[in-house]
């Protein structure tokens, strides 16, 4: 066994880094025979590139400023790694749709090691097999099957809000975890609260480490040989915790359903349907197919239990900030429902609610920078050279806040999507950017949309949402601020959630009888 000192590790890292930079320079010269320029961007320094201007906090806002200087396509390097930031729907469509075969790969994120999350898998057969399994249970023609579960969860949610409205954030997480657990595994959230906690740990890690460059080890994989005890190696200790938790998230509920299936106590769900299609036997093919299916189920829980949580929390914030919007939505619900709780077949008669849902996805996008794509090969585009391995990101926030398409984009205004009382198809739909791009667009978006509709329509039918009051009875200001990270959530805020009437209270209490 070879034992390396700290000095040896630093020397080896320096040699590897220098070799990597030289190789990258030679490769670019060879793959750019027409000697095209790189896209415009901030000037960098030798070796470190644009390290000092590389945004580290709410990058989407900084890039939005850069677009006004450099245009809607920005290129820069950090330690030899190229980054291309796209700031308009036209650029995003050209790159991720028209050239999807070259821009559907993902970077290797060493900190994560979450191989079962197919949103981060390398582009290829393994990813396609995972996504196909997931898509079979979440495409538009089958998601209607989950509507009873989503209605039941929404009604449980308003009952919880009635009992403890101050815990609305907790109740939001609980409700969405409950609906996806029932759909995926046929289980209730009450018996799996520890699993929900593990999933939240996974998502917290994803929010921190989901973009390349968040940790230096993503730039220099050789750093993996640094031991855990090495000074400054806290990143490695974090990675070890995330890997341990991810093992639980990927396998524990799947194994629990298997045990119940063998005992004859499993409820019909997506997991049991997937298990039924696994080839018989204990051979490599059977084990591989089971790995894909268990991963697909875990993906469903991770995506469904938390990403919609951000949009619903933003909805509560928006209603407290925009009481006129809330009143218009409630007036429509009162007119259509006539004193009952909403169902899915009411949705076509609720254009303002549908416009409100679009605005909720546009106003504060959950993934403002989307997930990073990678150029599989060198490319020439719009007169510029894009090197192989370039990390390409679409700035969803900029696209969804473009004043040319959304007047006064920082305001919450569902009317922007309406014309003559109906949804205006000429207005850009926020889903062009809110769920990712190209072949890597989120396949769970239809389930998410249905959950959002059921939750929002139930809440507005029976509750008023208002800012909290201070000791003098004055409303406490709510600032619509979002957290940093790949997944962005509203910063902490308080609000009052008040039943609209005695009749509304009775509707809430009776909702358990309607399930």
Q: What is the pLDDT along the chain (515 residues), one digit of tens a residue?
A: 333 444 544 555 555 555 555 555 566 667 788 899 999 999 889 888 888 888 989 999 999 999 999 999 999 999 889 999 999 999 999 999 999 999 999 987 665 556 778 888 899 999 999 999 999 999 999 999 999 999 999 999 999 999 999 999 999 988 888 888 899 999 887 766 666 666 666 666 666 655 666 665 555 555 665 666 666 566 666 666 667 777 777 788 899 899 999 999 999 999 999 999 998 878 888 999 999 999 888 888 777 656 689 999 999 999 999 999 999 999 999 999 999 999 999 999 999 999 999 999 999 999 999 999 999 999 999 999 999 999 999 999 999 999 999 999 999 999 999 999 999 999 999 999 999 999 999 999 999 999 999 999 999 999 999 999 999 999 999 999 999 988 899 999 999 999 999 999 999 999 876 55
CA 173 to chain centre: 15
CA dist., res. 186 & res. 173, Å (int): 18
Structural tokens at position 316? 């509560």
DSSP 53-70: GS--SSHHHHHHHHHHHH
CA 507 to chain CA centroid, nearest Å: 33
Q: Give the separation between CA 445 and CA 172, rounded to whole angstroms.
A: 18
DSSP alpha helix (H) spans, 210-365: 216-219, 234-263, 270-276, 284-321, 323-337, 351-363
Q: Which domains does the chain have, with CATH numbers?
A: 32-514 (1.10.630.10)
In this structure, what token pair is assigned to residue 265?
Answer: 């106590």
Q: Is 495 within any annotated ligand binding site?
A: no
pTM of the model: 0.89
């Amino acid at each position: 066994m070879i034992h390396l000192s700290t000095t040896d590790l630093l020397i080896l890292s320096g040699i590897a880094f220098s070799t990597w930079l030289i190789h990258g320079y030679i490769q670019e010269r060879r793959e750019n025979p027409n000697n095209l320029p790189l896209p415009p961007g901030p000037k960098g320094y030798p070796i470190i590139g644009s390290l000092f201007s590389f945004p580290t906090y709410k990058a989407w806002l900084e890039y939005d400023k850069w677009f006004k200087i450099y245009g809607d396509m920005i290129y820069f390097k950090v330690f030899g790694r190229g980054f291309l930031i796209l700031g308009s729907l036209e650029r995003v469509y050209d790159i991720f749709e028209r050239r999807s075969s070259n821009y559907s790969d993902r970077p290797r994120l060493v900190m994560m090691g979450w191989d079962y999350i197919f949103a981060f898998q390398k582009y290829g057969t393994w990813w396609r097999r995972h996504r196909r399994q997931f898509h079979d249970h979440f495409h538009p023609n089958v998601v209607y099957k989950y509507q009873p579960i989503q209605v039941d969860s929404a009604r449980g949610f308003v009952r919880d809000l009635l009992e403890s409205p101050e815990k609305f954030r907790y109740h939001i997480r609980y409700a969405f975890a409950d609906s996806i657990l029932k759909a995926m595994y046929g289980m209730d959230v009450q018996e799996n609260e520890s699993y929900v906690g593990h999933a939240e740990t996974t998502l917290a890690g994803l929010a921190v480490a989901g973009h390349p460059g968040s940790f230096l080890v993503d730039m220099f994989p050789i750093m993996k040989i640094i031991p855990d005890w090495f000074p400054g190696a806290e990143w490695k200790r974090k990675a070890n915790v995330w890997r341990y938790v991810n093992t639980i998230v990927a396998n524990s509920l799947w194994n629990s359903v298997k045990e119940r299936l063998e005992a004859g106590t499993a409820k019909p769900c997506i997991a049991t349907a997937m298990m039924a299609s696994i080839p018989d036997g204990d051979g490599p093919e059977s084990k591989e197919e089971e790995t894909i299916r268990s991963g697909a189920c875990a993906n469903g829980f991770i995506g469904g239990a938390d990403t919609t949580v951000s949009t619903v929390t933003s909805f509560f914030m928006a209603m407290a900030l925009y009481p006129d919007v809330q009143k218009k939505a409630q007036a429509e619900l009162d007119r259509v429902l006539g004193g009952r709780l909403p169902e899915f077949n009411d949705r076509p008669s609720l254009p303002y609610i549908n416009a409100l849902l679009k605005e909720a996805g546009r106003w504060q996008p959950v993934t403002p920078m989307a997930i990073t794509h990678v150029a599989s090969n060198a490319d020439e585009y719009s007169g510029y050279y894009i090197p192989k391995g370039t990390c390409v990101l679409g700035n969803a926030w900029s696209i969804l806040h473009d004043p040319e398409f959304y007047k006064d984009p920082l305001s919450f205004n569902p009317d922007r999507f309406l014309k003559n009382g109906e949804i205006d198809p000429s207005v850009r739909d926020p889903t062009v950017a809110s769920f990712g791009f190209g072949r890597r667009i989120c396949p769970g978006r239809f389930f998410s949309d249905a959950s959002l509709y059921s939750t929002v329509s139930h809440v507005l039918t029976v509750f008023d949402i208002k800012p909290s009051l201070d000791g003098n009875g004055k409303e406490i200001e709510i600032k619509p601020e979002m957290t940093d990270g790949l997944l962005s959530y509203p910063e902490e805020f308080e609000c009052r959630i008040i039943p609209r009437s005695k009749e509304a209270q009775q509707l809430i209490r009776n909702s358990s009888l309607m399930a």
